[in-house]
Amino acid sequence: MIEAVGVSLVYPEGTAALQNINLTIKPGELVYITGPSGSGKTSFLKLLMGIEYPTDGILKVLGQPVAKGQASGIRKLRRSIGPVFQEFRLIKGRTAIENVMLGMRFLDVPFRSIKEEAANALEKVGLSQKSRSMVEHLSWGECQRVAIARAVARKPALIIADEPTGNLDKDNAMKMLELLNLFRDGKTTVIITTHATHLIEGEKNAVHIRMEKGNMSLERLG
Amino acid sequence: MKNIICNLGYFLREVITIIRINPMSNVFSLLSTALIFFILAAVISGWWISSGVVEAVKSEAEVSVYFSEGLEAADTKRLTDLIRDIEGVREARLVSEEEAYLRMEQILGKEAKVLEYLAVNPFSPFIEVKIQIEDISSILGEFELLPNIEHIRDNREILDRISSIAGVLRVMGLLVVTAVGISTMVIISHIIRMGIYDNREQINTLRLMGASEAFIGFPFILEGLLLTLGGGIIASLLSVYTLRFVYAQMAGPLTFIPLPSGELLISQLVMLIMILSAALGISGSIFGLSSAKNV
């Protein structure tokens, strides 16, 4: 599913964001990536999505090498990923359901079932009654749930959520993690980055990646 | 392609949204392209009309050959036959002095009474020669070699002048078509670039989710196409109205000008403008898209 061998990322201005990362993540795993700001969490997610390329080492995501000259393969890879962006990146001027549908329009989803799948995804995140609301009229939390619905409606092999608990209190943060955990199954891997290490205390059957100054340590919980 | 067709409704809604984000720019672009296409239509119709007139005049081109007075009928017939054999001569026939008189009566109409004051028929017989206009120089050269010809009346100066006007209009037409092409492409590519800039967040999000460049760019191509087609329709309506008005004005006082069929001209002009507007809309949009690829 994800294989990194000696992966490093150095930005053009010389900042070493990631150093000699080695890891293997299997299909269906729940992965928490924790660490302070600037530890390299977002840089690692950027590599997984093919937004940045490793400056050293080999990285394969869902079998697709992430490297320069792989534009077409990376586009296909992105279609297999359900991203929940930190700032959501919902399209303004469109309703919640239109945003969810937009994420599926260029996939191999039968055209007639796009609306139904989008409605199902919104129902799973508890937003059925707001499906016709413009996203700019939704609260922060509701926007986050639309972003999750957009990600899961694509039936991705990999869900990536960047700091989904960032602006939430402890109870809501726990609910958010539980919600994301719902979409993990035997085939779908869920990767969540968070500052809040305390939220995953006691978590079982998950992978915990700690990041510190571009270095990574991996622990399988439970 | 299937994906594009299936999402046509979505793309059209996207176009409306893109236009709604920047309505005034789009309205001005529509009006600018309409004005440009109208100028194009005016020049092209002028070009086509003048070419039609020149062709009609050319097909009627004739010279009058006056021969020595008192020439015997047999010699006149021989001269007519010799003229008929010259290359480039389509027809040659003798016009008697009586026929020449009758023709003048017809030309003068009500004023023909003036001829009654003349004691004798003042008109001379002549040989009417219909020619291929391109061969006029060689034909006139051949006439010089024939006996008994006193003088020749040709309309060469008028024909040359009409030909040169048609030539100028042809060059102008080509220049205007080029200028229209470039200006329309600049306007459309600029509006597409603005649209892409206004929607850059959405475009980047779609890229991050794996949408192809074709899927992302199609609404912008559609926007450019709709703008130029809209401009083309407005220009066509204005051109049709203007041409009908001009034809109506010319029909009365200028009946002797052999104008080409108005309806045929209008239908060909509308078709040309619509094809040009579609082609320029698509190419302008693609140009705008490619120049804003890294937004």
Task: Kindly list the strands in the beta sheet with A189-194, ordered across the sheet, starting from the edge strand earlier in the chain.
Answer: A81-84, A158-162, A189-194, A30-34, A206-212, A215-221
- How many residues belong to chain B? 295
pLDDT band at A141 (very low <50, low <70, confident <90, very high): confident
Are B76 and B165 in contact by the 8 Å Cβ rule? The answer is no
Candidates A49, A97, A105, A112, partner chain B, best to mutate (most B CBs within 10 A): A105
Name the more confident of B128 and B19.
B128
pLDDT of B252 reads: 65
pLDDT of B53 reads: 78
Q: What's the DSSP call for residue B120? A: S
Lowest mean pLDDT among A80-84, A184-188, B89-93: A184-188
ipTM: 0.90
Judged by CB atoms closer than 8 Å, whether chains meet at B210 and A77 is answered as yes
Candidates B21, B201, B208, B209, partner chain A, best to mutate (most A CBs within 10 A): B209
pLDDT greater than 70 at residue B295:
no
CA distances to A47, A68, A171, B157, B225 from A165, in Å = 21, 32, 10, 90, 45
Q: Which of B6, B10, B210 sits opposite A78 (nearest CB)?
A: B210
Judged by CB atoms closer than 8 Å, whether chains meet at A81 and B3 is answered as no
Determine the residue of chain B that is closest to A46 in CA distance.
Answer: B208
- pLDDT tens-digit readout, B29-81: 889 889 989 988 988 888 888 778 777 777 777 889 999 888 888 899 999 99
Q: Which of A75, A83, A106 sits opposite B3 (nearest CB)?
A: A106
Residues of A in contact with B21 (CB under 8 A): 93
pLDDT greater than 90 at residue A198:
no
The mean per-residue pLDDT over the stretch A83-100 comes to 91
Distance of CA A66 to the CA centre of its chain: 16
Are B144 and B25 in contact by the 8 Å Cβ rule? The answer is no
Residues of B in contact with A49 (CB under 8 A): 208
Q: Mean pLDDT across chain B, nearest whole number?
A: 85
The mean per-residue pLDDT over the stretch A139-148 comes to 91
Which residues are CB-neighbours of A28 under 8 A, at least 6 positions away? Answer: A184, A185, A186, A187, A188, A189
Q: Mean pLDDT across chain A, nearest whole number?
A: 90
Judged by CB atoms closer than 8 Å, whether chains meet at A51 and B208 is answered as yes
Interface list for chain B against chain A, based on CB atoms closer than 8 Å: 3, 6-7, 10, 17, 20-21, 201-202, 204-212, 215
Residues of B in contact with A105 (CB under 8 A): 3, 7, 10, 211, 215
pLDDT greater than 70 at residue A108:
yes
Q: Which of A81, A106, A111 sits opposite B215 (nearest CB)?
A: A106
pLDDT greater than 90 at residue B20:
no
pLDDT band at A4 (very low <50, low <70, confident <90, very high): very high
| CA distance linking residue A143 with residue A95, whole number of Å | 11
Are A49 and A62 in contact by the 8 Å Cβ rule? The answer is no
Q: Which of A51, A76, A89 sits opposite B210 (nearest CB)?
A: A76
pLDDT of B232 reads: 94
Partnered with residue B50 across adjacent β-strands are none
